[in-house]
Amino acid sequence: MKIFTKFDYNAVCKKVLEEKLDQLGAKYRVVAFGEVEFLEKIPAEKMKEFRAELEEYGITIIENQKTVLIEKIKEAILEMVHSEEPINVKASVYLTDKLNHSYGYLSNLFSEVTFSSIENYIMMQKIEHAKNLIIKDNLTLTEVAYRLNYSSVAHLSTQFKNITGITPSQFQRIITKRREIANKK
């Protein structure tokens, strides 16, 4: 017997983080996703144990300010891409407003640290989200293009093929075929 699951990675990470913080027994408040403020001093040994427990779940504590800003850029991009309603401003304007830094600075920092451009990261995230919308929500390509703020289905298809090597239509056919095979078992 097989089962298929769907994950909300943000919810899973938040739950694990809150459970581990509660086990730590320290007073804290969650400032934003992935950002926690301790309201009291944590002994170094306790913090070391806490860090090790989080790392078992693939959660890393970031201490470098540049890395923190990169994570905030990624978080803002994910928020923008996964928004229920399309965000009708350029990514550069969205990130500048959200993070209170010039886009030039954000772009240069992102490239310096990740060896990739913000534009490329956005494109990768949009295509991953498009695949999920096709698989889980069974949306048409027109609906996916609208949801992800593409100017046309052709633009979505071009980027999809550049990233995955196949067109969204081919991807849909593969998913349909896999469902048919799974239902026969």
Is residue 87 in some structural domain? Answer: no
The predicted model scores a pTM of 0.69
Is residue 173 in some structural domain? Answer: yes
pLDDT given at position 26:
83
pLDDT given at position 47:
86
CATH code assigned at 135: 1.10.10.60
Taking the alpha carbons of 70, 36, 12, 135 in that order, is the dihedral positive or negative?
negative
Is residue 86 in some structural domain? Answer: no
Task: Please check whether residue 17 is in contact with residue 59, taking contact to mean a CB–CB distance below 8 angstroms.
Answer: yes
For the residues 106-128, what does the mean pLDDT come to? 94
Is pLDDT of 29 > 90? no
Is residue 149 in some structural domain? Answer: yes
Last residue of a domain, one of 16, 44, 61: 61
pLDDT digits (tens, 9 = 90+) for 16-26: 888 888 888 88
State both tokens at 91.
Answer: 């990514």
For the residues 36-64, what does the mean pLDDT come to? 85
Is pLDDT of 165 > 80? yes
Split at pLDDT 50, 70, 90, the class of 41 is confident
More confident residue, 170 or 68: 170
Domain that holds residue 133: 121-184
Written as one string, the DSSP assignment of 8-30 is -HHHHHHHHHHHHHHHHT--EEE
The one-letter amino acid code at 22 reads D
pLDDT given at position 161:
95
Is residue 83 in some structural domain? Answer: no
Average pLDDT over the chain, rounded to whole? 88
Is residue 94 in some structural domain? Answer: no
Is pLDDT of 2 > 80? no
Is residue 97 in some structural domain? Answer: no
Split at pLDDT 50, 70, 90, the class of 58 is confident
Rounded to whole angstroms, what are the CA distances from 66 to 78, 108, 110, 137?
18, 11, 9, 36
Number of domains in the chain: 2
Rounded to whole angstroms, what are the CA distances from 125 to 29, 82, 114, 118, 148?
29, 9, 15, 10, 10
For the residues 95-113, what does the mean pLDDT come to? 94
pLDDT digits (tens, 9 = 90+) for 127-164: 999 999 988 887 889 999 998 989 899 999 999 999 99
Is residue 67 in some structural domain? Answer: no
